[in-house]
Structure 1
Amino acid sequence: MTIQSLINKLAADCGDRTFLIAPESGEQLSFSQLRERVAQVSAQLDAMGCGAGEHVAMLMDNGQWTATLLLALMASGRIAVPLNAIAGDSQLEYVLEHCDANTLFASPQHLERARALGNGVERPVSVVPTCPDRGPQWSTKAEAKNAPLSAVEPDDAALLMYTSGTTGKPKGVLLTHRNVIAGGLNTVEAHALSKEDRGLCVLPLYHINAEIVTLIAPLISGGSVVMPHRFSTSTFWELVREHRCTWFSVVPTIIAYLLERGDSRETNVKGNPDYAQVRFGRSASSALPASSHKAFEQEFGIPLIETMGLTETAAQILSNPLPPFQARYGSPGIAYRNEVRVMTEHGQQAARGEIGELLVRGDNIMREYYKNPQATAESLDSDGWLHTGDLGYQDDEGFFFITGRLKELIIKGGENIAPREIDDTLLQHPAVLEAAAYAIEDEKYGQEIMACVVFKSGQHASVEELIGFCHQELGKFKSPKSIHIVQWLPRGPSGKVQRLKIANMLEELMEEQHVVADRA
């Protein structure tokens, strides 16, 4: 199966059924209309000299045409390259140069930036102004009626995604049609998605979570998706209610924001028949603190399913089962349609409860890191296993638990300490909204523990109180030596905290005098 064959089948079998809803404009796109747009985009790109097999970049915010264009590029045999709209100019210029795209679609608010980026690339780059709601402003009009599409095979490249790059330059993850479809199928099976389901997509379409989970998975299941321009706490539940969404996919940061608003009783979700159709909410992209998980379910009365996925795995690899199964708090779940195992540093399969690196194998695993054979060889072994760099263990019932990243592990006095253990402790303090522990060099211990916290609105605690709280819960050895109180934490496009960038962030904040508290 390919994206092209999938869209063709849906257009033939249920062409009049709604696939995509744009709440701002009120427009709805059927499967037949989606197929027509694929032909239209393909014909226009052919007229521009951008044929099948070409890489085409996108610098766009969410909207119905953003989603349509992403699917049309893949379905017509091009390779879609979504660019992270919140990345810095130097990173975007590197990605645009590296990805070999000669065409760049850009939203109006990113148009000037896109042209500047194109001018910074050695090869010519054609920038196409594209409204997320109304579509591209083509320089010429091509005849799309009955325009044939190039044949697409499952192992053809479909999507080129660049990782956020916690250190060094971002790597390009090249996914085939087989990978993309497998990633979507993993989600469909884990969440039992059907044509009756309607998802809400509030995550950016330049991230793998939104692309595979809330766009490709509904396409595979024959369901539908609501695609607002962006996430907003003030409209989130209204969109769920108005469009009768049965599920949504969010990240822990959004969950924290919804809880803050829920605590103010400005929402009325729990027990409200207007939300009776909601089967579950889904959390992914970074670890979900157990305290937030429990608080969400208690506040809103909606089951929350914690999952785990990577760009390299076309999103989801693990998921908790659906209700009536009771959520395994703190665990992203079990494997669906792919293999996941834990390996020790000596290359042996870990015993249950023993910490090691997570390895993944399946049709969803990327083809390669684009133009980076060394990184590919380091991550993909000869047996097809992807070495994720994530540390964790599997319990006696088969559920996986993530303890950290190999590169982020704190090694204090020879003892391995998972930063997440410290995060979870700080998040239990009633004033703390977000927390992130990280390592600094130390003459005595080799590495010492530091942490940053963001307070809930209207809440505060002293640094001494926070450290004392950690001493009580963790003991002095595992507690942060210092805690910085900040307004924000550095994050990648998925919302995952980038611990290795915290030290640089603090230096910049100190220079700008934005740090409101320092060393205890």
Structure 2
Amino acid sequence: MSDAASAIPPLSRHAAARGYRGRGPEDRLIERTTLPQVLAGVPAHGGPALTWYEAERRVLHFDAAALLRQVRALAHWFARGHGITRGDRVIVLSANSPEAFATHLALMSLGAVTVPVSNTESPRVLQLIADKVTPRLVVTGREVSAELVAARPGGMVALPALPLAADGDAGFEWPARDVMPDDPAVILFTSGTTSAPKGVCLSHYNLLVNAEGLSRIHDLARRRVHMCVLPLFHANAFGFSMVASLYAGSHVVLSAGLPGAAVWDILRAERVDVISLVPEIIRVLSRMPVPRDTLPDLKYVTSAAAPLPKTVAREFVDRTGIPIHQGYGLSECVNFAATLPWDVPDADLERSMGHWAVPSIGPALFGCDIGIRRADGSPAGAEEEGEIVVTGHTLMRGYWDAGDATEAALGEGALRTGDLGFFALVGGERYIFVTGRKKEIVIRYGENLSPLAIEAELEALRAVGRFAVTGFPNEAAGEEIGLYLVVPRTPDNERKVLDAVKACSVRYRPRVVLFGADPIPATPTGKVKRAVLAQRFQAYARRNFGSEPVVGT
């Protein structure tokens, strides 16, 4: 094994507080505790497993046995062709594709650690990630930005297109037998409160306990067809759409983003039971609705990755008649820690989504628990706001190569999320509600972005004058990115600023640029008061933005 174990905190550090860790197998909650065990149990002759759509066109389809052969062939390509073995890290840069889907499974089947990274990530952040995980290999799939390819010339290997022929190596033992439940399986990078992203290290056991919880709360044994339009480098699609679907034997209908109004035809043709979305996509679909009776198989949509505004939920349900089940989670606990269950009674669903100021995220999943804590650390009472904390078997092993950050996040045996919320009883069960957050993270279209990371992308603006970045509420995106500069709005300054902003990767690009004379609100120590700064962008709360920034004063 490589140096993987040395980069994350010892498992024994939080053993007492986190249940099974440091104890024997009898304390584990599930029987299949590694991805190789799950793959070994895939039936030789199974039903549909993966269907790939490009826009509205069905391009590729694998049943369970065929998908298994593709994963094995890719595992062989990695092991025999590139020497990948247990513990090696491999960065995977790709938009959604059948190759990316099978690659993540192939790497984990070998005991290697897959590191999904956005295909539109900035070269600076990619380099930070590479420096952190020291990958054995960087592979590219579909739609990787030219910036990224140019940033690592000769340092990337293109994934082979599927379908692949059988590898023909009878001596290739697969899936690996030496993988342990606590071995790292994936490192998901997430923006924190610093300009450098943190790598959330999840074990095989973490992933599969969450998969069991999702199987139960969505009744995946019967609701077997799941459509995935969210990116696989995101915790929701990785943990829910891919791992939980494999675990439950579901059929995944995969596309690279929302295929416009054609999504309704795909849902109908593939008889999809559940589709996982973010609030912005739900808002878009409200503008192109179809009657629910034309989609007899669709049970509900799940909303995740960002808070679901009550107005967006109500508009969608009123126009389509399709229920929404909101969920909540973080990469640090795989993805979903809570969501509305498949069998919630209609009256409880209506109450949980409309009675309070914010829709509910439902009860905690199997394998984890959610508490609400007051500022002094004591448990909050019903409908009393406090910080949301998560405990249980889905908590990450730690941040990769960041022991201090891990200790800060998990040192008390619970994940302090920084989100605010409360619980209330719905149908006699404890339902959780998210009301806000303590962190400064900008959640734009469901993706977490650090203001400091965005400011690092705009470093060239230091030559123009003082500036700061903040997130501000926006109906279309949940939050948008605002840039404020304490400089006069002259033609020359505007040109320099827009040049720097347009040079930013799209995912980090501010959508509103404000020039002003008022100072940037800050504490005596110079820390930017971003919530105060966000108030200067209130006029843009209802505006839809393209890729080009809007300039104002």
Q: Give the TM-score category using the shorter length.
A: 0.7 to 0.9
What are the Cα deviations for residues 67-126 of structure 1, in whole angstroms up to 9, with x where unaligned? 11111111121110001122222111211221211211112542754543435xxxxx85
CA distance in 1, matches of 2:415, 2:545: 29
Residue 270 of structure 1 contacts residue 299 of structure 1 at CA under 8 Å; is this kept in 2? no
Q: Percent same amino acid among aligned pairs? A: 25
Structure 2 distance, partners of 1:394, 1:489, is 35
When the two structures are superposed, what TM-score results if normalisation uses the length of structure 1? Answer: 0.76
* Partner of residue 386 from structure 1, selected from 397, 409, 415: 415
Q: Normalised by the size of structure 2, how large is the TM-score? A: 0.72
In 2, the alpha carbon distance for the partners of 1:90 and 1:220 equals: 35
Which residue of structure 1 lines up, in the alignment, with residue 207 of structure 2?
A: 180
279-288 or 21-30, which deviates more? 21-30
Per-residue Cα deviation, 1:403-450 (whole angstroms, up to 9, x for no partner): 2221249xxxxxxxxxxxx95xx85xxxx7856699962799x96966
Q: Which of residues 3, 13, 27 is equivalent to 2:60?
A: 27
**In the TM superposition, what is the alpha-carbon distance from 1:377 to its structure 2 partner?**
0.2
Structure 2 match to 1:193: 220
Structure 1 match to 2:311: 291
For 1:305-344, what aligned pairs fall within 5 Å after superposition? 305-322=325-342, 323-325=344-346, 326-327=348-349, 328-329=352-353, 330-337=359-366, 338-344=368-374
Aligned pair partner of 2:120 in 70, 73, 86: 86
Q: Distance in 2 between matches of 1:87 and 1:126?
A: 16
Matched, 1:270 2:325: no
Deviations 1:237-286 (A, max 9, x none): 12111111111000001111111233xxxxx33332xx111111100011
Tell me which amino acid in the other structure corresponds to 1:271: D
- 1:64 equivalent to 2:98? Answer yes
Contact 2:214–2:244 (CA under 8 A) maintained in structure 1 = yes
Q: Which moved more, 1:361-370 or 1:227-236?
A: 227-236
Taking structure 1 as reference, are residues 196 and 285 closer, same or farther at Cα in structure 2, changes over 3 Å only? closer
Aligned partners of 2:380 and 2:70: how far apart in 1? 49
Maintained 8 Å contact 2:108/2:114: yes
Q: Distance in 1 between matches of 2:481 and 2:150?
A: 37
SS in 1 for 2:272: coil
Whole-Å Cα distance in 2 between the matches of residues 4 and 113 of structure 1? 35
The equivalent position to 2:521 in structure 1, one of 413, 435, 441, is 441
Secondary structure at 1:299 match in 2: helix
Q: Secondary structure at the match of 2:292?
A: coil
Q: Spell out the pairing of 1:380-419 with structure 2 (5 A cutoff).
A: 380-382=410-412, 384-397=413-426, 398-408=430-440
1:148 aligns with 2:173: yes
Q: Provide closer, same or farther for how the CA distance between residues 148 and 126 of structure 1 changes in structure 2, counting only shifts above 3 A.
A: farther
Give the letter aligned to residue 407 of structure 1. K
Q: Is the 8 A contact 1:39 1:147 kept in 2?
A: no
Say yes or no: does 1:55 pair with 2:74. no
Of 458, 461, 483, the residue aligned with 2:538 is: 483
The alpha-carbon deviation at position 386 of structure 1 amounts to: 1.3
Distance 1:195 1:99, change over 3 A: farther
Q: Conserved in 2, the CA contact under 8 Å of 1:208 and 1:315? A: yes
Alpha-carbon distance in 1 for matches of 2:71, 2:274: 27
Partner of 1:412: none
1:39–1:254 Cα change, 3 Å: same
Q: CA RMSD in A?
A: 3.1
1:241 aligns with 2:274: no
Matched letter for residue 53 of structure 2:
P
In the alignment, structure 1 segments of 5+ residues that lack a partner are 120-124, 263-267, 410-421, 453-479, 491-504
- Structure 2 vs 1, CA of residues 489 and 153 (structure 1 numbering), >3 Å: closer, same or farther? farther
448 and 91 in structure 1: CA distance in 2 versus 1, 3 angstrom threshold: closer
Offset at residue 385 of structure 1 (A)? 1.4
Shift in Å at residue 311 of structure 1?
0.5
For 2:182 and 2:306, how far apart are their aligned partners in 1? Answer: 29
Counterparts in 2 of 1:370 and 1:351: CA distance versus 1, 3 Å: same
User: Given the superposition, is the C-alpha separation of residues 128 and 317 from structure 1 closer, same or farther in structure 2, using an over 3 Å criterion?
Assistant: same
Deviations 1:456-496 (A, max 9, x none): xxxxxxxxxxxxxxxxxxxxxxxx56624286679xxxxxx
> Are the equivalent residues in 1 in contact too, given 2:121–2:148 (CA < 8 A)?
no
> 1:182 Cα shift?
1.3
> Which residue of structure 1 aligns with residue 35 of structure 2?
3
| Counterparts of residues 367-378 of structure 1 (less than 5 Å) | 367-378=397-408
Whichever residue aligns with residue 144 of structure 1, its letter is: D
C-alpha distance in 2 between matches for 1:277 and 1:374: 48
Contact 1:309 1:315 in 2 (8 A): yes
8 Å contact kept, 2:139–2:156: yes
Deviations 1:331-374, CA, capped at 9 Å, x for gaps: 11111211110112212111222222111112111000000001
| Rounded Cα–Cα distance in structure 1 between residues aligned with 2:140 and 2:309 | 36
CA shift in 2, pair 1:195/1:367, >3 Å? same
- Between the aligned partners of 1:435 and 1:45, the Cα distance in structure 2 is 40
1:456 match: none
- Following TM superposition, by how much is the alpha carbon of 1:11 offset from its aligned partner in structure 2, in angstroms? 2.8
Distance 1:133 1:276, change over 3 A: same
Q: Look up the match of 2:157.
A: 128
Q: Paired residue for 2:78, among 45, 65, 68?
A: 45
Change (3 A) 1:285 1:250: same
Deviations 1:168-225 (A, max 9, x none): 2100000000001112222111111125520100001110100111111221221111
User: Which of 216, 230, 252 is 1:203 aligned to?
Assistant: 230
Distance 1:369 1:9 in 2: 31
Q: Distance in 1 between matches of 2:259 and 2:369?
A: 36
Distance across 1 between alignment mates of 2:479 and 2:71: 44
Distance 1:204 1:195, change over 3 A: same
Alpha-carbon spacing, 1:279–1:372, altered in 2? closer, same or farther (3 Å): same
Residues 448, 481 of structure 1: 8 Å contact kept:
no
- Aligned to 1:169, the other structure's residue is in SS state coil
AA of the residue aligned to 2:398? E
Name the aligned partner's letter for residue 371 of structure 1: D
Q: Could you tell me how far apart the structure 2 residues matched to 1:348 and 1:236 are?
A: 46
Q: Distance in 1 between matches of 2:308 and 2:159?
A: 35
Q: Give the corresponding residue for 1:304.
A: 324
Give a deviation string over 1:124-170, Cα, whole Å, max 9, x none: x852212665579xxxx964345103321211110111003454210
